[in-house]
């Protein structure tokens, strides 16, 4: 049976732990120049309705490193751009491809892809979730902190797709996550409730608050993302005012643990949600975090496509 990866809840904590081990193996093997071609003859489609640097490139390169092939599908160049339905397109491409990564706006659109596709559908970001980012971020946390369970993460900024998936990841992995957002910009309430249910089993703690300084106190990981996500460009001016104090800067980092790491999914707006100084600080693992997308996604592709 095909398996999709639309949200973090599509995998178990046990599976995520195995992915962490495998991603590290694949990363080491690649660095040592060893053969990692476990997906020979397999093909992955990539359909992006929003821009992407990391997700697109890391999935394309992941397929090459695994011995398979990526096929980039530009939404305006396939017949969908002229009105062919998702259902028909999904059924057709299922005959050619072994899996497809979709980046789109509404989360219900990717659910429609998953309903009609006979091959795994992987969420490359929707307005509501960014699960591939979260699993790679958990790899980065594991590499830097030697554990995931019990880690205290502060997320400051917009309660967006990245925040929603981090909450779900924290819940299944037994982390403590404090999310500080301005009033009205909280993470999705249904996602938070579901995560709190999962947290009961794992000992995770999920706190939603408004004061970024409270959130950052004693944190092991301090995370932020842009104030204005793709599709919200019209709100950019207003958001710049509302989010002013939701910034990772020298002062915020004084409250976190001395050895806290700084994370950002990128792309960043230096001087807005994070200062130039903190982007480049020795505490920042932001660029390793971007590289880990590649290795974690190789482990995910092996699990779903093999």
Question: Dihedral, CA atoms, 294, 295, 301, 306, nearest 10 degrees?
Answer: 140
**Between 27 and 264, CB nearer to ligand NVA:** 264
By the rule CB under 6 A, 52 interacts with ligand CP = yes
CB under 8 Å to 101, separation ≥6 — which residues? 44, 45, 46, 47, 55, 59, 122, 123, 124
Asked if 225 is an active-site residue, the reply is yes
By the rule CB under 6 A, 162 interacts with ligand NVA = yes
How far is the C-alpha of 186 from the C-alpha of 179, rounded, in Å?
8
CB of residue 201 vs ligand CP: minimum separation in angstroms? Answer: 29
Give the DSSP letter string of 222-279.
Answer: EEE--SS-TT-GGGHHHHHHHTTT--B-HHHHHHS-TT-EEEE-S---BTTTB-HHHH
**Between 42 and 130, CB nearer to ligand CP:** 130
Query: Considering only residues 22, 27, 42, 54, which one is a binding residue for ligand CP as defined by CB under 6 A?
Result: 54
CB under 8 Å to 306, separation ≥6 — which residues? 38, 39, 42
By the rule CB under 6 A, 161 interacts with ligand NVA = yes
Which SS3 state, helix, strand or coil, does residue 295 take? helix
How far is the C-alpha of 239 from the C-alpha of 242, rounded, in Å?
5
Name the nearest CA neighbour of 110 among 33, 174, 34, 47.
47
Query: Considering only residues 73, 138, 148, 265, which one is a binding residue for ligand NVA as defined by CB under 6 A?
Result: 265
Q: Which residue has the tokens 């301005």?
A: 182
By the rule CB under 6 A, 229 interacts with ligand NVA = yes
Which SS3 state, helix, strand or coil, does residue 141 take? helix
Asked if 293 is an active-site residue, the reply is yes
CB of residue 149 vs ligand CP: minimum separation in angstroms? Answer: 24
Query: Considering only residues 58, 123, 160, 292, which one is a binding residue for ligand NVA as defined by CB under 6 A?
Result: 160
22, 178, 293, 295: the catalytic one is 293
Asked if 133 is an active-site residue, the reply is yes
Query: Considering only residues 112, 225, 272, 273, which one is a binding residue for ligand NVA as defined by CB under 6 A?
Result: 225
Query: Considering only residues 209, 230, 242, 255, which one is a binding residue for ligand NVA as defined by CB under 6 A?
Result: 230
Report yes or no: 244 and 210 within 8 Å, Cβ to Cβ. Answer: no
Asked if 35 is an active-site residue, the reply is no
Residue showing the smallest CB distance to ligand CP in the complex: 55
By the rule CB under 6 A, 265 interacts with ligand CP = yes
Give 261's strand partners: 221
By the rule CB under 6 A, 179 interacts with ligand NVA = no
Asked if 130 is an active-site residue, the reply is yes
Residue 200: how many other CB atoms lie within 10 Å: 9
22, 54, 65, 103: the catalytic one is 103
**Between 45 and 187, CB nearer to ligand NVA:** 187
Q: Which does 53 bind (CB under 5 to 8 A by kind): ligand NVA, ligand CP, none?
A: ligand CP
Residue showing the smallest CB distance to ligand NVA in the complex: 229
Count of residues in contact with ligand CP, rule CB under 6 A: 9
How far from 172 is each of 50, 167, 202, CA to CA, in Å?
Answer: 28, 9, 6
Q: Which residue has the tokens 């496509």?
A: 305
98, 188, 225, 264: the catalytic one is 225
Contact residues: ligand CP, CB under 6 A: 52-55, 125, 133, 265-267
| Active site members | 103, 130, 133, 225, 265, 293
* Positions that interact with ligand NVA (CB under 6 A): 125, 160-162, 225-226, 229-230, 265
């Amino acid at each position: 049976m095909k398996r999709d990866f639309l949200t973090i809840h599509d995998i178990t904590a046990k599976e995520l732990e195995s992915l962490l081990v495998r991603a590290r193996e694949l990363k080491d093997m690649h660095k040592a120049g060893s053969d990692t071609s476990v997906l020979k003859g397999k093909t992955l489609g990539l359909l992006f309705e929003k821009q992407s640097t990391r997700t697109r490139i890391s999935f394309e390169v992941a397929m090459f490193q695994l011995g398979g092939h990526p096929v980039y599908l530009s939404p305006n160049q396939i017949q969908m751009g002229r009105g062919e339905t998702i259902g028909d397109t999904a059924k057709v491409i299922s005959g050619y491809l072994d899996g497809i990564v979709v980046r789109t706006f509404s989360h219900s659109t990717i659910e429609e892809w998953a309903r009609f596709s006979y091959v795994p559908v992987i969420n490359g970001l929707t307005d509501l979730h960014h699960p591939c980012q979260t699993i790679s971020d958990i790899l980065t946390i594991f590499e830097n902190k030697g554990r995931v369970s019990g880690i205290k993460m502060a997320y400051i900024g917009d309660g967006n797709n990245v925040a929603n998936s981090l909450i779900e990841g924290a819940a299944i992995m037994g982390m403590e996550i404090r999310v500080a957002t301005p009033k009205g910009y909280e993470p999705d309430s249904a996602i938070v409730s579901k995560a709190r249910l999962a947290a009961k089993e794992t000992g995770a703690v999920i706190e939603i608050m408004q004061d970024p300084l409270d959130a950052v106190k004693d944190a092991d990981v301090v995370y932020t993302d842009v104030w204005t996500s793709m599709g919200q460009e019209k709100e950019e001016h207003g958001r710049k005012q509302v989010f002013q104090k939701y910034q990772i800067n020298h002062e915020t980092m004084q409250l976190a643990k001395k050895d806290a790491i700084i994370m950002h999914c990128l792309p960043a707006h230096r001087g807005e949600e994070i200062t130039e100084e903190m982007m480049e600080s020795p505490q920042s693992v932001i660029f390793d975090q971007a590289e880990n997308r590649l290795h974690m996604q190789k482990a995910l592709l092996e699990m779903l496509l093999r």
